[in-house]
């Protein structure tokens, strides 16, 4: 089997066309992200516990949101929180084990006073938004995206954008507090 790769000029035209489509939306989301980050108590410095995976998730979640990759934004922000909180708890002396359950990490962080009850509820909401994207759901399942679309009277791409906005705002707000803000 062979494939025909377009010449460079054609690839450049396709790339320029792709970049032009949705430009206004990307600019709007970039401004939104910049505003949310500027409103953070410490907009410039962040201490990201959890290593390389945390840093990659942070950078890619922001980029995904701006580029309109909403499912990726939701998945990456949940990944970011899991690595960030587990890294912090480990650094703080918690014995998490080799593969800690995130619910246990949440509980430990709440007991340490790092997370309020409301923040834990927001993180659980993010997990609930992530699960139907990450795990297969039969169309009879209440969490299936099509079922949610019918229930909310919106197309999935619209509520995924809203969910991604919630996720990126949550993580930005969260990174604005101690011990993550520097």
Nearest to 34 by CA among 26, 177, 126: 26
- Residue 147 · residue 141 · CB < 8 Å: yes
Render pLDDT for 76-116 as a digit per residue (tens, 0 to 9). Answer: 999 999 999 999 888 888 788 888 888 899 998 898 888 99
Q: Provide the number of structural domains found in the chain.
A: 1
Residue 5 has pLDDT above 90, yes or no: no
- Whether 160 maps to a domain, the answer reads yes
Tokens 């960030």 correspond to: 84
- Whether 42 maps to a domain, the answer reads yes
Whole-number Å distance between alpha carbons of 72 and 57: 10
Domain of residue 82, residue span: 8-175
Q: Is the pTM higher than 0.75?
A: yes
- Whether 1 maps to a domain, the answer reads no
- Whether 2 maps to a domain, the answer reads no
Please report, for the domain that includes residue 111, its CATH number.
Answer: 1.20.120
- Whether 3 maps to a domain, the answer reads no
Max CA distance (Å), the chain: 59
Whole-number Å distance between alpha carbons of 130 and 108: 22
Helix (H, G, I), strand (E, B) or coil at 34: helix
- Whether 180 maps to a domain, the answer reads no
């Amino acid at each position: 089997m062979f494939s025909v790769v377009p010449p460079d000029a054609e690839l450049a035209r396709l790339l320029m066309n792709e970049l032009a489509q949705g430009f206004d939306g990307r600019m709007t989301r970039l401004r939104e992200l910049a505003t949310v980050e500027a409103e953070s108590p410490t907009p410039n410095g962040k201490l990201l516990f959890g290593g390389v995976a945390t840093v990659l998730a942070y950078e890619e979640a922001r980029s995904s949101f701006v580029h309109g990759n909403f499912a990726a934004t939701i998945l990456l922000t949940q990944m970011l929180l899991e690595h960030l909180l587990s890294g912090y708890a480990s650094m703080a002396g918690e014995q998490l084990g080799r593969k800690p359950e995130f619910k246990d990490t949440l509980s430990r962080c709440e007991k340490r006073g790092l997370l309020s009850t409301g923040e834990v509820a927001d993180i659980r909401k993010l997990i609930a938004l992530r699960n139907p994207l990450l795990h297969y759901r039969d169309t009879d399942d209440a969490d299936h995206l099509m079922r949610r679309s019918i229930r909310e009277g919106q197309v999935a791409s619209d509520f995924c954008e809203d969910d991604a906005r919630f996720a990126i705002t949550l993580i930005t707000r969260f990174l604005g507090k101690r011990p993550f803000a520097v």
